[in-house]
Amino acid sequence: MTHPLLRPQPLRAWQFEDLLDTPDDGYRYEIFDGSLIVTPPPPMPHFTVLHRIRRALERQAPDDLVVGENLGVLRRDGSSYFIPDLVVFDAALLGTALPALPPPAAQLVIEVVSPSNPGNDLVLKRYGYAVAGVPEYWIVDARTQDVLVLTQPGSMGYLTEQKHSGILRGADPFPFELNLAEVFG
């Protein structure tokens, strides 16, 4: 198998099918508007915040929803494919042959800001998820110990944003409450 970074750039923009032969080397291979993005595995502080959020949400999620990791979100035309840190989706999709979630099926996408490349989560994915139609996107920032909740996706980005610190409460995609002091503790 040829490593994707060692093979020539496709003569066209990167597409989802170009990722099917990427190595299982711990790196995340994603695509934004036809451009390849490769990121290393997260460090322990990033993983710790992610783990705490997932456990808290799983305890509160109804049985018909999944709080999962490492499942991609694929734009219909294949030109953008992201692997969010966490995604909430309908449990009825478990066991299907989908290669990735279509954006509307990703009811909530959560990214923990990477200290090595915050622009991926704060700018690129913020725009990419909105344009693709992901209904809700959280940007979790351990540096500022807050969560930016973005809703109402559109062609220019998310129309609504709310910054939360302390306690984060919501009703969608299910009623939840997160103590951010415990998440960032």
Tell which residue, 150, 13, 12, has the closest CA to residue 84: 150
Task: Tell me the per-residue pLDDT of 62-97, one tens digit each, with 9 for 90 and over.
Answer: 999 999 999 999 998 889 999 999 999 999 999 999
Higher-confidence residue of 115 and 160: namely: 160
Average pLDDT value for residue range 55-60: 98
Spatial distance between the Cα atoms of 20 and 14, rounded to a whole number of angstroms: 12
CA angle 88, 139, 32 (to 5 degrees): 80
Q: Could you tell me if residue 86 is left (phi over 0), alpha (psi between -120 and 50 degrees) or otherwise beta?
A: beta
Alpha helices in the chain (DSSP H): 44-60, 118-119, 125-132, 180-184
Task: Tell me the per-residue pLDDT of 88-100, one tens digit each, with 9 for 90 and over.
Answer: 999 999 999 999 9
Q: Provide the token pair at 163.
A: 């910054």
Say if residue 2's pLDDT is above 70: no
Say if residue 10's pLDDT is above 70: no
Q: CATH for 42-184, among 3.40.605.10, 3.90.1570.10, 3.65.10.10, 3.40.50.11540?
A: 3.90.1570.10
Say if residue 20's pLDDT is above 50: yes
Q: Provide the token pair at 47.
A: 């993983």
pLDDT at 7: 53
pLDDT at 78: 87
Task: Tell me the per-residue pLDDT of 100-127, one tens digit each, with 9 for 90 and over.
Answer: 999 999 999 999 998 888 999 999 999 9
pLDDT at 115: 81
pTM: 0.92
Spatial distance between the Cα atoms of 49 and 45, rounded to a whole number of angstroms: 6
Torsion over CA: 61, 132, 130, 21 (sign) = positive
- CA distances (Å), origin 61, targets 48, 66, 78: 20, 8, 30
Task: Tell me the per-residue pLDDT of 128-155, one tens digit each, with 9 for 90 and over.
Answer: 999 999 999 999 999 999 999 999 999 9
Phi, psi at residue 163, to the nearest 5°?
-95, 135
pLDDT at 138: 98
Instruction: Find the Cα–Cα–Cα–Cα dihedral 52, 55, 173, 88, rounded to 10°.
Output: 90
Give percent above pLDDT 70 in the chain.
Answer: 94
Higher-confidence residue of 158 and 20: namely: 158
